[in-house]
Chains A and B, each alone.
Chain A
Amino acid sequence: MKAISMNAHQSLAIGRPIETIEAISPALAVPHAMVRFAGISKTYPAYRGKPGVNALQDIDFAIPRGSITGVIGRSGAGKSSLVRLINGLEKPTTGRVIVDGRDISALAGRELRLAQRSIGMIFQHFNLLSSRTAADNIALPLEIAGWTKTDIKARVTELLALVGIADKHDRYPSELSGGQKQRVGIARALATRPSVLLSDEATSALDPQTTRAILDLLANINRELGVTIVLITHEMSVVRQLAKEVVVLDAGRVVESGHVADIFTQPRHPITQSFLAEVIGDSLPVSLESRIVSKQPAGGQAVIRIQVRGAGAGDTVVARLARELGLDVALLSARIDEIGGQHVGSLTLGIPGGEDAVTRTLAWLSQYQFSAERLGYVA
């Protein structure tokens, strides 16, 4: 077990203010980013009585080559517009989108279609052709790219094996489960050997177990093929499980971006905090919360909540607190999760022995850089 003082220092070192992704993160400042958004805004004009919409504003960030980058936001935050700028399905109102060194926002017609072959995309509702078998769905982008029949056949067999559904070659989408359909979708997106794979809420229509399997598959693909993956999602669990970099979108703007571990151990924007709360929870168990009072009853305990942030942080805090201060610390509630290899969560402790013990406890915690607050008392 690691020493707590070291853990506490680690947790201190993690939270750095992140102004721009390039300024702070060396990994993101690489000269050959896979996708760069430069001064992007996207406005949908007013149409048939509907007012115009500023879908994206002041978007400036880069997606590192070979990374898995999550773009997280609530619905209407501009995620879909952002991802459609990457593969040229939409054009920015201002600014440029550079994909693999090419300004995709400046391309049109045949040039754009050629560039799109190096950008794969998977969809929430899979978007498979119901009239084609799994194999023929995967073959479609290859037919469009003008591959020969022999080459297509070999490539399709290879792809079906890659996504683990070699036995579903001749099945129609209506005969496949959701997870199998998305595997076909992934194989189809990878058919033309793209350098970027865009995932537009690809697991939102799947159950948690299938989601996990699909995310594992995406992680494998990223590792083995080196494909840069951009994950558009409103689900924190997806970012937590898969992404190393994250961009938090709110109302068409990037509110935070950087390494997943940094962003979610020190969330600054309310939206980021609310996403984090989805995973680690910020409420106490009902039975505990209802017992908390503001004045200490005789023989009661003070309730103190400690925030846990960082690798291994909090592992031994309860034991050390009890030993060093000689208190019979009660563990009332605890929730610790791991995001990007960092522990994130909170411990709720009951401290017996009156005001003096509480003061000593808070002083001890602040000495080791733990953020703690007193919530009240329980009998």
Chain B
Amino acid sequence: MSPELINLIVQATFESLYMVGIAALLGTAFGLPLGVFLATSRKGELFAAPIVNRVLGIVVNATRSTPFIILVVAIIPFTRLVAGTSIGSTAAIVPLTIASTPFIARLVEAAIREVDGGLIETASSFGASPLQIVLKVLIPEALPGLLLALTLAVVSLLGYSAMVGAVGGGGLGDLGIRYGYQRFMPEMMLAVVVVLIALVQIVQSAGDYLARRVNRRLRHR
């Protein structure tokens, strides 16, 4: 493979990492509180607000059931409003964030609901406020699950990022389509897939490692 092509791959890799990294950060920033709220706002729960919970649940489901490529095109006006432009890697972060937020929220909700309800009662019994219960009990206890959820979200984002080529987002997926498919360069396609596989492996291994590190439930020495 020529140095120019290798250069293209390196550049596309950085574009992918940039989009996915920022979108994962923003998705977590929005998705974590949303997920915690979803997990604690049903009837009788810590922040009981059953109607808000129901409405947010519907919004989350709606966003998650919209195919990503449609989401990307549908929110172009919004993207232009937020990013100042609707094309390029930075613009692509907007739909990636919007797609990953409800995904992360549902994973966070599941991880938080795994925490033994007895611990909430225990913390309440010695006078912890709802916010203290979230920060000192729920999140630390759910941390292994939260890290695995985040890992899953990053891996999914890598997949989504292949589609933002549709709005000039660049990245590995875009490179694979334009060079590998449209220009009949199977070696380019193969290279892109290999890099993506390597990235997913690295992300997943790192996530597994961190989740194991913070998991004190079963310690194998």
Q: Which residues of A contact B (CB under 8 A)?
A: 87, 89, 110, 112-117, 119-121, 123, 125, 127, 129-132, 140-141, 143-145, 172-175, 188-189, 191-192
* Docked CA distance A129–B120 (Å): 10
In-complex Cβ contact of B140 among A112, A132, A188 (8 A): A132
B45 is an interface residue with CB less than 8 A from chain A: no
B167 is an interface residue with CB less than 8 A from chain A: no
In-complex Cβ contact of B123 among A140, A145, A174, A191 (8 A): A140
Q: For the complex formed, measure the closest distance between the CB of B142 and the CB atoms of chain A, giving whole angstroms.
A: 9
B85 is an interface residue with CB less than 8 A from chain A: no
Q: Which B87-139 residues have C-beta < 8 A from chain A?
A: 116, 118-119, 121-129, 132, 136-137
B62 is an interface residue with CB less than 8 A from chain A: no
* Docked CA distance A120–B90 (Å): 53
B217 is an interface residue with CB less than 8 A from chain A: yes
Q: Which residues of B contact A (CB under 8 A)?
A: 116, 118-119, 121-129, 132, 136-137, 140-141, 143, 214, 216-219
Are A145 and B122 in contact, with the CB atoms below 8 A? no
Are B116 and A192 in contact, with the CB atoms below 8 A? no
Would you give 28 A-B contacts (Cβ < 8 Å), ordered by A?
A: A89-B121, A89-B124, A89-B125, A110-B129, A113-B127, A113-B128, A115-B127, A116-B125, A120-B126, A123-B118, A131-B143, A140-B123, A143-B136, A144-B123, A144-B126, A144-B127, A144-B128, A144-B132, A144-B136, A172-B216, A172-B219, A173-B216, A174-B217, A174-B218, A174-B219, A175-B219, A189-B126, A191-B126
Which chain A residues border B123 with CB–CB below 8 Å?
140, 144
* Docked CA distance A117–B127 (Å): 6
* Docked CA distance A318–B81 (Å): 99
Are B136 and A127 in contact, with the CB atoms below 8 A? no
Q: For residue B142, which residue of chain A has the nearest CB? A: A131
Which chain A residues border B218 with CB–CB below 8 Å?
174
Which chain B residues border A89 with CB–CB below 8 Å?
121, 124-125
A112-B127, A116-B127 known; 7 new pairs, CB 8 Å cut-off, are A115-B127, A117-B127, A130-B216, A131-B140, A141-B126, A141-B128, A143-B136
Are A121 and B122 in contact, with the CB atoms below 8 A? yes
* Docked CA distance A173–B126 (Å): 19
Q: For the complex formed, measure the closest distance between the CB of A113 and the CB atoms of chain B, giving whole angstroms.
A: 4
Which chain B residues border A125 with CB–CB below 8 Å?
118
Q: For the complex formed, measure the closest distance between the CB of A184 and the CB atoms of chain B, giving whole angstroms.
A: 12
Are A174 and B216 in contact, with the CB atoms below 8 A? yes
Which chain B residues border A120 with CB–CB below 8 Å?
126
Q: For the complex formed, measure the closest distance between the CB of B45 and the CB atoms of chain A, giving whole angstroms.
A: 14
Are A127 and B126 in contact, with the CB atoms below 8 A? no
Q: For residue A48, which residue of chain B has the nearest CB? A: B43
* Docked CA distance A81–B172 (Å): 60
Q: For the complex formed, measure the closest distance between the CB of B112 and the CB atoms of chain A, giving whole angstroms.
A: 13
Which chain B residues border A144 with CB–CB below 8 Å?
123, 126-129, 132, 136
Q: For the complex formed, measure the closest distance between the CB of A53 and the CB atoms of chain B, giving whole angstroms.
A: 15
Which chain A residues border B143 with CB–CB below 8 Å?
131
* Docked CA distance A175–B126 (Å): 24
Q: For residue A83, which residue of chain B has the nearest CB? A: B125
Are A121 and B141 in contact, with the CB atoms below 8 A? no
In-complex Cβ contact of A140 among B118, B136, B214, B216 (8 A): B136
Which chain A residues border B124 with CB–CB below 8 Å?
89, 116
* Docked CA distance A184–B112 (Å): 24
Which chain A residues border B122 with CB–CB below 8 Å?
121, 123, 127
Are A127 and B129 in contact, with the CB atoms below 8 A? no
Q: Which of B126, B128, B217, B218 has most chain A Cβ within 10 Å?
A: B126
Which chain B residues border A174 with CB–CB below 8 Å?
216-219
Which chain B residues border A113 with CB–CB below 8 Å?
127-129
* Docked CA distance A114–B127 (Å): 6
Are B141 and A131 in contact, with the CB atoms below 8 A? yes
Which chain A residues border B125 with CB–CB below 8 Å?
87, 89, 116, 119, 121
Which chain A residues border B214 with CB–CB below 8 Å?
131
* Docked CA distance A94–B201 (Å): 60
Are B217 and A192 in contact, with the CB atoms below 8 A? no
Are B126 and A116 in contact, with the CB atoms below 8 A? yes
Q: For residue B132, which residue of chain A has the nearest CB? A: A144
Are A129 and B126 in contact, with the CB atoms below 8 A? no
In-complex Cβ contact of B119 among A87, A129, A145, A189 (8 A): A129
Which chain A residues border B140 with CB–CB below 8 Å?
129, 131-132
Q: For residue A172, which residue of chain B has the nearest CB? A: B216
* Docked CA distance A125–B218 (Å): 17
* Docked CA distance A115–B126 (Å): 9
Q: For residue B124, which residue of chain A has the nearest CB? A: A89
Which chain B residues border A119 with CB–CB below 8 Å?
125
Q: For residue B119, which residue of chain A has the nearest CB? A: A127
Q: For the complex formed, measure the closest distance between the CB of A159 and the CB atoms of chain B, giving whole angstroms.
A: 14
Q: For residue B128, which residue of chain A has the nearest CB? A: A144
Which chain A residues border B127 with CB–CB below 8 Å?
112-117, 141, 144-145
* Docked CA distance A160–B126 (Å): 18
